Structure 1
């Protein structure tokens, strides 16, 4: 006779199945929010006061991206490298984009920062994300080697026969000449990078049926009030207190654009809803009916039973609002 099965075994099996499902969901959803450029920078100061900044930008993903925007607080242009708007950002592990900038700052603590925006295209989503980095001091710039001018070849001096020299009494020893030492130039003070203010992070997510704006406000930040004006529909206001996260959504329709506005927000360009490639005509159109709807509903039940919250995490297009 078989002994009755322990209820603990059944509970353990259910828990293990749920854990496997959650791990799988996390593995699928994680790449959606990971896309971002990885900029870094250093700067050095020469004896003549010229500051040289070296920038380097990497990629967080295993696919290439396109650099869509570059903003530097150093006024001079990028040179000596391949970092530029429109450049292809190599995939992770395949190298970096680099460039240098030079400038003579008049302020004691100049702001040396770089903002890089890049765009990744995947079959089910289009991700645009930017990052801002402050360059770190790297001491005094190495002196550039100089090549001394070539000395001319001396001409041969004709030989002159020596004539008898009359004896001359020895002259007294000359007095020692005192030479004043040349004062050494004290090195210029290296400007220190200012601390980067803590900023809220805004995410714009385009899915097949809606355009969602999310603001994550750090605990030590200030209250953020964001006004979102669509070209179709009603204006919405999003207020997020420090340490909180808030979001609003607009129904996805062809041609939808939403203009963000907030105190201190520099980029107020309209943001357009972008239709992912795998929507198959769903976004902005009529809802699916019939057998396809039944299959989709059945699949949704299976995902819910496995503990999947995939729709919360997937298909993100991230954007940072500087407020």
Structure 2
């Protein structure tokens, strides 16, 4: 006998085909993950005002990166570790870079910050991102051990007691004023810093600003060596980006209020791009491959639907 046909079986087949198609579109069109260094820092204060900072930097990605910029607000050299400019940042889970700094601030301690920029090279893109982190207090530094004397202290030779002289009572002098202790340096809470990313692909040079919610509005002017300048305005809590068509020799100079680093940034050609021909700007959205993949997966869903409608094999006596 033939089992009764269920209307839900047809709906299930249609839904399965549509789900497969949409899943394919999502897989092809999903954005790339963000690359970023992950810096952190702690510091301690000694009784004499000496500040010792310990910095650590790890990697967010599964490939090695290169430290391209390393700037600290502590005006001393990095020591006692492998964190340095041009150092290799190990892939995620394979280790971190560390270093320390020590300095005695004459006046009030400024904010203690570290700015790290790292560079990742993948076959189809080159990503450079900069992040700034503030060190957090970790209490009082441990006191250094007092060195023991090298030779025993000689025994003092007893001397004859002098003849006591008559004592005179003098008026007690007034008590000197109590001296105020030297204030211990204190850290100030730094404002949140925006995060900047530069990405070179085969056809674009893209600048991205991620502004934290407690930051200030960022107005960035980007001036290429060929073509018109572009302005990127990013309000607190928002992320914005500006792209330039990739051409050989493209150089873009950033400028913004309070921006110290205005070094021009050049487009770099990733390894998988065609090295024989210059990159050409795209004139339309790159949706052709996405549409073809979605249609193919929807067709697979239609085949499943047709198979679901086939009759079952019936045996007769």
Q: TM class, shorter-chain normalised?
A: 0.7 to 0.9
Count of aligned pairs: 268
Q: In 2, distance between residues paired with 1:50 and 1:228?
A: 42
Q: Judge conservation of contact 1:139–1:190 (CA < 8 Å) in 2.
A: no
Q: In 1, distance between residues paired with 2:276 and 2:243?
A: 17
Q: In 2, distance between residues paired with 1:301 and 1:73?
A: 51
**Aligned-pair distance for 1:219?**
4.5
Q: In 1, distance between residues paired with 2:217 and 2:192?
A: 13
Q: CA, structure 1 residues 300+220, in 2 after alignment: closer, same or farther (shift >3 Å)?
A: same
Say whether residues 1:149 and 2:149 are aligned partners.
Answer: yes
Name which of 205, 213, 216 aligns with 2:199.
Answer: 205
Q: In 1, distance between residues paired with 2:64 and 2:237?
A: 34
Tell me the residue number matched to 2:223: 229
Tell me the residue number matched to 2:209: 215
Q: TM-score, normalised by structure 1?
A: 0.71
Tell me the residue number matched to 2:271: 277
Tell me the residue number matched to 2:54: 54
Mapping 1:1-323, distance limit 5 Å? 1=2, 3=5, 6=8, 7-18=10-21, 20-21=23-24, 24-25=27-28, 29-31=31-33, 33=34, 35-152=35-152, 189=184, 191-192=186-187, 194-281=188-275, 284-285=278-279, 299-303=289-293
Q: CA, structure 1 residues 260+303, in 2 after alignment: closer, same or farther (shift >3 Å)?
A: farther
* SS class of match (1:268): coil
Q: In 2, distance between residues paired with 1:201 and 1:303?
A: 35
Tell me the residue number matched to 1:168: none
* SS class of match (1:21): helix
Q: Judge conservation of contact 1:39–1:58 (CA < 8 Å) in 2.
A: yes
Q: In 2, distance between residues paired with 1:225 and 1:286?
A: 29
Q: CA, structure 1 residues 243+75, in 2 after alignment: closer, same or farther (shift >3 Å)?
A: closer
Q: In 1, distance between residues paired with 2:11 and 2:50?
A: 72
**Aligned-pair distance for 1:196?**
3.0
Tell me the residue number matched to 2:165: none
Provide, for residues 232-278 of structure 1, a one-character-per-residue CA deviation record: whole Å limited to 9, x for no partner.
11222233444444433222110101111111122111111111111
| CA RMSD in angstroms, aligned pairs only | 3.4
Structure 2, gaps ≥5 residues long: 155-177, 298-317
* SS class of match (1:9): helix
**Aligned-pair distance for 1:186?**
7.2
Provide, for residues 183-221 of structure 1, a one-character-per-residue CA deviation record: whole Å limited to 9, x for no partner.
9x97963523x3232333333332212222333444554
Q: Judge conservation of contact 1:67–1:86 (CA < 8 Å) in 2.
A: yes
**Aligned-pair distance for 1:90?**
1.7
Q: TM-score, normalised by structure 2?
A: 0.72
Provide, for residues 37-72 of structure 1, a one-character-per-residue CA deviation record: whole Å limited to 9, x for no partner.
111111111122211111111111222221111100
**Aligned-pair distance for 1:135?**
0.8
Q: In 2, distance between residues paired with 1:305 and 1:188?
A: 72
Q: Judge conservation of contact 1:115–1:132 (CA < 8 Å) in 2.
A: yes
* SS class of match (2:272): helix
* SS class of match (1:53): strand
**Aligned-pair distance for 1:106?**
2.7
**Aligned-pair distance for 1:85?**
0.9
Q: Judge conservation of contact 2:24–2:294 (CA < 8 Å) in 1.
A: no
